[in-house]
Amino acid sequence: MPDDKIIRLKIKRQDQPDTKPYWQEIELPHKPRANVISCLMDIQMNPVTRDGQKVTPVVWECNCLEEVCGSCTMVINGKVRQSCTALVDALPQPIVLEPMSKFPMVRDLQVDRTRMFENLKKVKAWVHIDGTYDIGEGPVIPEKQRAKAYLLSECMTCGCCLEACPQFTKDNDFMGASTFSQVRLFNMHPTGAMESEERLETIMGEGGIADCGNAQSCVEVCPKKIPLTESIAEVGGETTLQLLKNLLLK
Amino acid sequence: MRKQRPSYIVIGGGLAGLAATMKLCEDKAKVTLVSYQPVKRSHSVCAQGGINAAIDTKGEGDSPEMHFYDTVKGGDFLANQPLVRDMCHQAPAIIRLMDRLGVAFNRTPEGHLEFRRFGGTLYSRTAFAGATTGQQLLYALDEQVRRYEHDGQVKKLEWHEYLSAVLDSENICRGAVLHDLRTGEIFTVKGDAVVLATGGPSQVYGKTTGSTVCNGVATTSAYLQGAKYANGEFIQVHPTAIPGQDKLRLMSESARGEGGRIWVPKKANDSRDPLTIPEEERYYFLEENHPRFGNLVPRDVASREIHDVVYNKKLGVGGQAMVYLDLTHQSAGFLEHRLGGILDIYSKFTGEDPKKVPMKIFPAVHYSMGGIWTDYEDDGNGLIDHQSPRNQMTSIQGLYAAGECDYQFHGANRLGANSLLSCIYTGLMMGPGLISYSQNLRAHFEDVPSTVFDQARDQWQERMQGFRQMNGKENPYVLHQDMGNILLANVLIVRENSKLEKALTEINDLETRFKDVQCLDTTHWSNPAPSMIQQLHCQIQLAKIITRGALIRNEFRGAHYKPEFDLNQPKDFDPHEYVEYIEKKQYGEIQEEEFPSGHVAYMKRFEECNERWLKTTIAEHKNNQPEISFEEVNTSLVQPRPRKYD
């Protein structure tokens, strides 16, 4: 039920990838346990700005609303994060909503993160199995190692780490923390490790790990608290070894 | 010989869609994979607690046959048994496969798979990866499909919406009409078969545990094209969810599997801090009423008990619709290790630490046991013939369905950790049948005149244009919310015919209001407004299927609870008596005194009820209304009997 408080939002909007962005201010009745997404849903039911102008509902991306799908990343009060866990009562107002700036604009708060998925292809972020037929159990894995892998495998390709990274820009090829961390994950797995050299070779090339400026902003914004800098350090070490190996063997 | 490789269109990239895609690619097929969003973001990621397989690593005597029995019993015997049995027998192989794909399943000290308890069974049968098992399974399949995409076998059409199947003059499915959600373009794709793997319909109820894409639209579209929809009224209400404005977030059954206890203060409106309320002043109602299964009774049972405690006994926490789910007696380290992900969700959204204070939870709409009707072929030995093209085919030839969007496997109530299994199972199992379907087609989509595809596209262009031009007074999002509220108020845990009739009238009124909807955005780039109206149109039809099915089914079975038709099982009844009763009946008259007092009368009522209602509800679209009929259920393997979880 709404109480007598008001939620003030300032939203950056853009109709098309090549048109100019503009701002809209919208006020909503406050509701307990509201989050940024419930506010955007309330706007859909009454899309009117603070000065009474009827507008189109805001376009954004969301799905699970419980921070496991990675869809709803945006920049809220200057900080990149998932908007589902952005609880209104914990945010200073007006709540300023902007799209991520490092990915191609689609519309309003929606951007195109295809590049992240393409990077997963480049580094072969998968375990290459012989086939799906029942050929028995997987490798025995110590619980400690499993727990370490689990931390990395929670990466939901949300893009927070890349938005925060000074090295990652719209016009370069830098792969960024999330990709390097996935290299570490698959190189850790007993079967995945069989392709570890190929993965390392890929991130030794253009846009690879050597371009990391060690700003460490990635790990600060990761909603899943993935030890990204640890991954970068470890994979960085592995690439150095690989480089030496290449020099000696060639 | 046809030169072209078999090619398929898979709609939806959750566990079922990805499993099917992977399996088809392994058989050298080409797949077009269609999704509203990047498939890695599909709703399967929300599944938390685990996936069932009777591997019996703890010497408890578990077996696939026990898993089969628990599942059909959990579903109140409404599921077709050969399919359930086949799934349970395949389950161990599925877990081993997922393990090989790199899923970070929790391990034992020796490094093997760890299993935990879940509802509706007395065995430790549930493999898990922390408390984000669905996410971990989905990622493993997403990675395999990405590999095939990298190799050119899969073409992904993300940010696309499925509108309908393309049917030729013989009503055979030859492709799909799609809508590019960025450009707005409407076009067709051709394939040997179309697989709907589009998940559940929970958005029809508005606020639920579902993701925003779980809208039930693709299956309703198939229904509107003539496919049968089955058991629509069987909607699972999960006992434990966190109240919220935009969503009711699931609190996994694994919280109870790891020792979580449900309770309320014995005194109504007790305002004390729960931690200061002494043991003897707490009412652990599940444990008291069900000593054997305790907090791990099946979901329908638990939800009804919570409903009863809150609304009939008026014992909700603080007088509100909430009960405690308490884990505070477990050590913080144990909880972090086994349930970390879900406890994080609770603290992020409520600001309270469930390791220190009991969680406040309430039931929420969670899963649909019903869905689009699908076929199967058994092998004569109580399992499935995996080569049969009939497996998972809807009543439209060439249109298949898998995962939550089909109606098989879970009967009248699904057991926890069986949905991840049924999704992966159907996706994998249907592969060989789809291939043989292609191989045995007399004519392929290449032979179908292009006018068939053009007409389908033109019709949809016109339709979507019509939605775009709607300029009435009704806000479609408000209408959607109103629809959800009608169902939440009338078609939920406790169902009464007078309220169901009222709901049907209200849905019809809503349909009238729909004609006066306004399309809130008429631009041509990345505009969700016309799609939203088309989705709402389908959802109104689906609301009718659910409600009419519920109205007509005059019995109490699983999640479908009508107090008026409760058979009132005697307290001291033992379900085995019924098996004995059926056996004795074959050899002559039953003597009342052979059974405890009142039991024969109860068993007669039970038998009559099954004769009338142990049937699949079928809804078919006739004159803009669902026409309901009934179909036999295959109960050839286990004698249906009364459920009891005391």
Q: Where are the domains positioned within chain B?
A: 238-361, 462-552, 569-632
Tokens of B158: 């993300």
- Residues 6+ away with beta carbon under 8 Å from B480: B203, B206, B532, B536, B539
Contacts of A15 in chain B (CB under 8 A): 523, 525
Closest-approach residue (CA) in chain A for B431? A132
What is the per-residue pLDDT for B569? Answer: 96
What is the per-residue pLDDT for A72? Answer: 98
Helix (H, G, I), strand (E, B) or coil at B8: strand
Q: Which amino acid is at A76?
A: I
Instruction: Report the distance separating Cα B396 and Cα B345, nearest Å.
Output: 41
Active site residue ranges of B: 299
A residues 181-220 closer than 8 Å to B (CB): 186, 189, 191-192
Half-sphere exposure of B88 (CA within 13 A, CB side): 24
Half-sphere exposure of B489 (CA within 13 A, CB side): 14
What is the per-residue pLDDT for B243? Answer: 87
- Is residue A63 less than 8 Å (CB to CB) from chain B? yes
- Residues 6+ away with beta carbon under 8 Å from B248: B207, B208, B209, B241, B242, B362, B364, B365
What is the per-residue pLDDT for B84? Answer: 98
CB atoms within 10 A of CB A31: 18
Closest to B111 (Cβ–Cβ): which among A57, A142, A153?
A142
Percent of chain B exceeding pLDDT 70 equals 100
CATH number for the domain running over B462-552:
1.20.58.100
| Length of chain B counted residue by residue | 646
The H-or-E segment that residue B388 falls in is none
Instruction: Report the distance separating Cα B358 and Cα B341, nearest Å.
Output: 17
CB contact under 8 A, A65 and B246: yes
The tens digit of pLDDT for each residue in A79-116 reads 999 999 999 999 999 999 999 999 999 999 999 999 99
Distance in Å, alpha carbon of A15 to nearest chain B alpha carbon: 8
Helix (H, G, I), strand (E, B) or coil at B193: strand
| Length of chain A counted residue by residue | 250
CB contact under 8 A, A59 and B527: yes
| Structural domains of chain A, with CATH | 6-111 (3.10.20.30), 114-249 (1.10.1060.10)
CB contact under 8 A, B107 and A189: no
Q: Which amino acid is at A169?
A: T
Closest-approach residue (CA) in chain B for A188? B102
Closest-approach residue (CA) in chain B for A133? B97
Q: Which amino acid is at B52?
A: N
How confident is the prediction for chain A on average, in pLDDT?
Answer: 96
Distance in Å, alpha carbon of A182 to nearest chain B alpha carbon: 11
User: How open is the CA angle B634-B639-B640, to the nearest 5 degrees?
Assistant: 80
- Residues 6+ away with beta carbon under 8 Å from B430: B20, B23, B195, B391, B392, B400, B402
Asked if A88 and A39 touch (Cβ cutoff 8 Å), the reply is: yes
Closest-approach residue (CA) in chain A for B474? A45
Contacts of A137 in chain B (CB under 8 A): 96, 99-100, 112
Q: Closest Cα partner for B42 from B165, B167, B135?
A: B135
Instruction: Report the distance separating Cα B536 and Cα B204, nearest Å.
Output: 9
Asked if A224 and A160 touch (Cβ cutoff 8 Å), the reply is: no
CB contact under 8 A, B211 and A126: no
Tokens of A22: 């503009």
CB contact under 8 A, A38 and B244: yes
Selected from 3.90.700.10, 3.30.479.10, 3.20.20.10, 1.20.120.10, the CATH number assigned to the domain covering B238-361 reads 3.90.700.10
Closest to A106 (Cβ–Cβ): which among B109, B182, B247?
B182
The tens digit of pLDDT for each residue in B273-325 reads 999 999 999 999 999 999 999 999 999 999 999 999 999 999 999 999 999 99
Tokens of A226: 């993935």
Please report the sign of the dihedral spanned by the C-alpha atoms of residue A131, residue A185, residue B132, residue B37: negative
Q: Closest Cα partner for B317 from B363, B272, B253, B364?
A: B272
- Is residue A6 less than 8 Å (CB to CB) from chain B? no
The tens digit of pLDDT for each residue in B576-633 reads 999 999 999 988 888 888 999 999 999 999 999 999 999 999 999 999 999 999 999 9
Distance in Å, alpha carbon of B297 to nearest chain A alpha carbon: 26
- Is residue A38 less than 8 Å (CB to CB) from chain B? yes
- Is residue A149 less than 8 Å (CB to CB) from chain B? yes
Please report the sign of the dihedral spanned by the C-alpha atoms of residue B27, residue B29, residue B35, residue B40: positive
Positions in chain B whose pLDDT score sits under 50: none
Report the 3 state secondary structure along chain A: CCCCCEEEEEEEECCCCCCCCEEEEEEEECCCCCEHHHHHHHHHHCCECCCCCECCCCCCCCCCCCCCCCCCEEEECCEEEECCCCEHHHCCCCEEEECCCCCCEEECCEECCHHHHHHHHHCCCCCCCCCCCCCCCCCCCCHHHHHHHHHHHCCCCCCHHHHHCCCCCCCCCCCCHHHHHHHHHHHHCCCHHHHHHHHHHHHHCCCCHHHCCCCCHHHHHCCCCCCHHHHHHHHHHHHHHHHHHHHHHC
CB contact under 8 A, B245 and A117: no
E strands in B168-208 = 173-180, 186-190, 193-196
- Is residue A137 less than 8 Å (CB to CB) from chain B? yes
Task: Give the number of beta-carbon pairs within 8 Å between A and B.
Answer: 183
Instruction: Report the distance separating Cα B468 and Cα B456, nearest Å.
Output: 18
DSSP label at residue B269? T
Instruction: Report the distance separating Cα B594 and Cα B596, nearest Å.
Output: 7
Best to test chain A binding among B22, B35, B99, B247 (most A CBs inside 10 Å) = B247
Instruction: Report the distance separating Cα B219 and Cα B373, nearest Å.
Output: 10
A228-233: average pLDDT: 98
Closest-approach residue (CA) in chain A for B526? A107
pLDDT at A2 over 60: no
CB atoms within 10 A of CB B514: 18
Closest to B477 (Cβ–Cβ): which among A45, A143, A149?
A45
DSSP label at residue B308? I
Instruction: Report the distance separating Cα B589 and Cα B585, nearest Å.
Output: 6
Instruction: Report the distance separating Cα B221 and Cα B200, nearest Å.
Output: 14
Tokens of B382: 């109580």
Report the 3 state secondary structure along B411-479: CCCCCCCCHHHHHHHHHHHHHHHHHHHHHHCCCCHHHCCHHHHHHHHHHHHHHHHHHHCCECCECHHHH
Instruction: Report the distance separating Cα B537 and Cα B581, nearest Å.
Output: 49
CB contact under 8 A, A38 and B246: yes
CB contact under 8 A, A69 and B41: yes
How confident is the prediction for chain B on average, in pLDDT?
Answer: 96
Beta B193-196 vs B399-401: how paired, if at all? parallel
Half-sphere exposure of A154 (CA within 13 A, CB side): 22
Contacts of B106 in chain A (CB under 8 A): 143, 146
Adjacent-strand bridge partners of B117: B124
Helix (H, G, I), strand (E, B) or coil at B318: helix
What is the per-residue pLDDT for A3? Answer: 67
CB atoms within 10 A of CB A93: 15
CB atoms within 10 A of CB B168: 19
Contacts of A109 in chain B (CB under 8 A): none
Closest to A71 (Cβ–Cβ): which among B37, B341, B527?
B37
The tens digit of pLDDT for each residue in A187-224 reads 999 999 999 999 999 999 999 999 999 999 999 999 99
Backbone angles phi, psi at B418, to 5 degrees: -95, -15
